Structure 1
């Protein structure tokens, strides 16, 4: 704890990202209140100074964009600071204050700089060495707490210059004539494109706000070329006139004044979102690659929509997957519903999860919280427990690889389901050749179970029904997978098309039966087309792996066989349709039915020459499969 003396002269070195600097403000407030009579000087870039000004938390500013610690140290030495409080985490900042001879140097011992500090904190870490996610507000408050400056107020704080408010009127005169709510959309992100929601969805959201609320929608982006292009694209995609701030030169002060006027801000997880929160605005924030825990503000006027897919949070500036799933799963409907709740003063959610949420109850063991206790009763609460579990029905086949096992058992499911059947797939030391093949197919290093889990998540997000995953996990050696598993829930009230077709196939193809059959074929074609539109293919797309439930919905199973072809995508598409054609019983599906399926699948009323060539290849592939069956004494279903 540091006590205040007449000679206390405090340097506070602020972090560089705009969002982090704003998240510092509760700690800055605490330091100011504790050291009321001391001189407090902020060291920051010009961007951060403009963001935080005017500030009641300091007496002076030092503008420094210099990166050389020797240059900065020489600059600081002249001020004779008694304390240096480092909210910036870099090694260079600690070295600079050390070289400047500042007696008390307070900050986090990270980036190998601990020996340069006199008072240091250690950030919490996870077992794998990564930093444990925590709100940066609390992270920074721990530093002020080390000074004895305990926080009473945890809220973010920013002020706006009156002149900026006046200047804004001439820059954005449309605000004066606004008849509905003023909505600011922030579609960019300095972190990288992985944080960005698709432009077309921002445009659709803007159109919805204008249609339903007569909103004045403003697109706010940074002056960089990439973000200016984003703003232009959104405006071009919108059916209404939007205000594009990329075409107007607003200072940061004027931007804060604009946010003060906003009734709602819709933003990616980026710096301006924190401006909106600090100014007490209603905010919808879209999270993808970064863990929301890092920037949690407990704001009561914010709704967070989180793309919680298996590969997130990855903290990567650029998505390494073939599809930017964490942001893709956030739908326009979700954002519009959140906007409606806030605009109408009826917030029902603080957080909206786009998909299931899993918790890590032991190392690399992830479980749906709704099923955690039921699995724990069976000893399924760790990877070791999963691989020693034997109270189940073995579903193994003769041709099942030795490293794989499949079992079936029942668990107590949440009400009103009661007992439910689940399936456990285990992969124990898969051969290196299999793993390398999987990595190539998945375009990344993933375990066997994680590939299936990720595939299910991505397909579900794209509208393709799959079995619900309730638990998964994996264990790695230094490079290769040791073992992995996935537990999925039985699809309720559903059966495979191979085992049983709907009842309307049993009667004559006339009247209501005929109509129901045609609807069924159309829905099946739509389902397969939607699956293929995800760029996935299935090595066994037979009727045995397509389920149909009592509500008339299709489901795809055996997702370990689904993959994204790196090459020959068309060839695998032909193979998929050939497998559908092959496994559709001839006694139930006529040639006309099959033609209807293809027409619906390609989305045309008449076949093109390309479609006819496609059909010939499909039929040829199915016939080759049938000849193979005949050699083994089996008859192909489509020939029955």
Structure 2
């Protein structure tokens, strides 16, 4: 479990991790306006006009270039409020939800992004995190290790691996199961629990040890955690792990449950399969 110390700047509009206050101050980025309107960096993600993510670098007092990401949230259109209400759910808008989720993940020991700053003013907000450099997405790692054949079941590395080939795959499966188990037992659910939102240090591709969870914009914490959210997370992971074999999936579920799969687990497994199929249909329909 990692804890952080924070300082309030700019009249409370800016919350900054204490270790990054000197760096932001020396860079002239110690106010809401400066961070919200800085043009430095390169756009990393811009799917919505009201939400953009930019990568930028700052040089610390040792001369080391530090990489950061800022996710800016402008005022959303009214439809972003209406859609959740029609589904009888609470709108998740702005940067504060992801900020709280990052702190909650750290609190329960799940590796994720390091929080740097949160800014809020007049309906606009932003989140700054330190970059997880030198990592690859698990979706790319999967293609590297299990990308032979048309699908996972036809790949010789999926169902008939020797111990050397099986070791990194088993390690990834075990890490994913441990993350999912810890997350759900802590009342957390991700809502975008796909392999593309997991990062593995590049030097560990052949011997995975630590996996980071990213993109926590829709993650929430509630106790007790509804089975609906558990099924959704596990189905999203199941859908994205298309190259994994039935044996890999069974290993994941047994590691997640902390025991062998029994007759009483069949109902949950059927729900996961149905939700996985629904995600696949949605993805085909919208060409995702």
Q: Same fold (TM over 0.5)?
A: yes
TM-score, with normalisation over the residues of structure 1?
A: 0.38
Distance in 1 (CA, whole Å) between partners of 2:144 and 2:64 is 28
CA deviations over 1:415-456 (Å, ceiling 9, x no partner): 6x9212211011223457757969x759xxx98222211111
- Paired residue secondary structure (1:595): helix
The answer to whether the Cα contact below 8 Å between 2:97 and 2:218 also exists between their aligned partners in 1 is no
Alpha-carbon spacing, 1:633–1:621, altered in 2? closer, same or farther (3 Å): same
Match of 1:361 in 2: 9
Answer yes or no: is 1:500 the counterpart of 2:141. Answer: yes
Q: Point out which structure has higher relative CO (alpha carbons under 8 A, 6+ apart).
A: 2
* C-alpha separation in 1, matches of 2:286 and 2:121: 40
Report how many residues are paired.
267
Instruction: Give the direction of change, closer, same or farther, for the CA distance of 1:515–1:447 in structure 2 (3 Å limit).
Output: closer
Cα shift at 1:510: 0.9
- Among 231, 236, 261, which residue is 1:574 paired with? 231
Q: What is the CA–CA distance in structure 2 between the aligned matches of 1:539 and 1:563, rounded to whole Å?
A: 8
| Structure 1 counterpart SS, 2:125 | strand
1:514-553 matches, cutoff 5 A: 514-549=166-201, 550=204, 552-553=209-210
Runs of 4+ aligned residues of structure 1 deviating over 6 Å after TM superposition are 435-438
1:39-438 equivalences in 2 (<5 Å): 355-364=3-12, 365-398=14-47, 400=48, 402-413=49-60, 418-430=64-76
For structure 2, the residue ranges without an aligned partner over 5 or more in a row are 148-155
For residues 539 and 484 of structure 1, what CA distance do their matches in structure 2 show?
A: 21
Partner of 2:248: 593
1:462: Cα distance to partner? 0.3
Offset, 1:526: 0.9
Q: For 2:287 and 2:76, how far apart are their aligned partners in 1?
A: 33
Q: Secondary structure at the match of 1:406?
A: strand
Deviation at 1:633, TM superposition (A): 5.5
Partner of 1:604: 259
* Per-residue deviation, 1:468: 0.3
**Cα pair distance change 1:492/1:413, threshold 3 Å:** farther
Alignment-derived partner of residue 150 in structure 2: none
SS in 2 for 1:527: helix
Deviations 1:271-312 (A, max 9, x none): xxxxxxxxxxxxxxxxxxxxxxxxxxxxxxxxxxxxxxxxxx
Unaligned 5+ residue runs, structure 1?
1-328, 330-353, 477-481, 635-640
Name the residue aligned to 1:484: 125
Q: Aligned partners of 1:487 and 1:381: how far apart in 2?
A: 12
In the aligned structure 1, how far is the partner of 2:175 from the partner of 2:195?
14
Q: TM-score, normalised by structure 2?
A: 0.80
TM-align CA RMSD: 3.1
Task: Return the offset for 1:607.
Answer: 2.1
Residue of structure 2 in register with 1:325 after alignment: none
| CA offset digits 1:313-357 (Å, max 9, x no partner) | xxxxxxxxxxxxxxxx7xxxxxxxxxxxxxxxxxxxxxxxx6121
Asked if structure 2 preserves the Cα contact closer than 8 Å seen for 1:371 and 1:414, the reply is: no
